[in-house]
Homo-oligomer: A and B are copies of this chain.
Amino acid sequence: MSDNERLLSVIENYLALAELPAEPELLYAPIGYSLAGGGKRLRPMLLLLACGIFSDDVQQALPAAAAVEVFHNFTLLHDDIMDNAALRRGKPSVHAKWGRNVAILSGDAMLIWAYRLLAGVPAVALPRVLETFNGMALEVCEGQQYDMDFESRPKVSVVEYLHMIEQKTSVLLAGSVVIGAMLGGASDEDCRKLRNFAIELGLAFQLQDDLLDSYGDERLGKAIGGDILEGKKTYLMITAMSRADDATREELRRLLADATMLPAEKIGAVKSIYDRLDVPRLTEQQIGLRFERALGILSTLSVGAARTESMREYAAGLMGRKK
């Protein structure tokens, strides 16, 4: 077991031991169900790894690590209502399983539960940690609102898209590493640098997610093309729209609106336009650029290279790359 695998199992244990009340069942059962749903535990991992850069005591950061994971799952729970998504990680979403009202209320309780966990950090750090958490949480809501605004807009620029995913994804990663670093005793400057590290890593991660949805991950053999079939505004689609000439743009719009085409045929046609416009390579380039920037920032921290080793390894593993 590597150090990072060991850290992950510490998080899983801590989350599993969080004693949720049994009653009222319809309030708390959906919270337990959401938290047991798995996922990479990306945010608490980043929080603990950031703490570990500056301190050998990462135990003290566990309540905050659990808080960011609970907060993240709360956002998924409410997002699934808003997006009308029936599945989450291959299982029925909370609103599909228990109904809309239960999902709204247990999501609210889950957000409060995150704050209850957060209150377990050392008292001396609490004011700054709470302030960081609040700012992060509000920005995540803003990102979700911009995302909903986008879906109803005919045109979105690449810059606007990057800003939206920065708020929706990167901000929570950034808040996690900053809270971890604070708890580890990092200077304000190191906190700021780690924040930028997480913003870049989050963008790389999200763009890779967009790319894999259309081009697949051979290692996983995952079904591909879901974003294309849903007509989602992804980095690939927005890049294609911005690079296409008028005729190609028209063809893309026609393809997306076509309800009679077979799924595989539609995916193939859109991807052949992506390929013609060099979209996959440009996306790869952007991912590589963001990832290298993130790693570069780690080297500028006020600590020796050895202390950032675990974080580098984790970030590389996340992106399926060598560090």
Contacts and interface: CB of A to CB of B under 8 A. Distances in A.
Interface of A: 21, 23-24, 26-27, 78, 81-82, 101, 104-105, 107-109, 111-113, 115-116, 119, 123, 126-127, 130-131, 134-135, 137-138, 141-142, 144-146, 148-149
A116 B24 CA distance: 28
B127 A119 contact: yes
The complex is assembled from copies of this chain, and their number is 2
A82 B101 CA distance: 5
A24 B104 contact: no
12 contacts: A78-B104, A78-B108, A81-B101, A105-B144, A105-B145, A109-B142, A111-B112, A112-B134, A112-B137, A116-B134, A116-B138, A119-B131
Contact of A104 (B23, B104, B142): B104
B108 A130 contact: no
Contacts of A116: 131, 134-135, 138
Contact of A26 (B21, B101, B111, B149): B149
Please indicate which of the listed interface residues A21, A23, A109 has the most CB atoms of chain B within 10 Å of its own CB.
Answer: A109
Nearest to A149: B24
Nearest to A26: B145
A198 to B, nearest CB: 20
A141 to B, nearest CB: 4
A14 to B, nearest CB: 18
A107 B116 CA distance: 19
B119 A27 contact: no
B137 A101 contact: no
A320 to B, nearest CB: 33
A183 to B, nearest CB: 15
A284 B232 CA distance: 60
A206 to B, nearest CB: 19
Contact of A119 (B78, B107, B109, B134): B134
A109 B138 contact: yes
A144 B148 CA distance: 28
The 5 tightest CB contacts between A and B, nearest first, are A24-B145, A27-B145, A109-B141, A116-B134, A82-B101
Contacts of A135: 116
A107 B144 CA distance: 13
A274 B248 CA distance: 74
Given A130-B119, A134-B119, A141 B27 contact: yes
Contact of A111 (B108, B123, B149): B108
A134 B142 CA distance: 23
Nearest to A24: B145
Contacts of A111: 108, 111-112
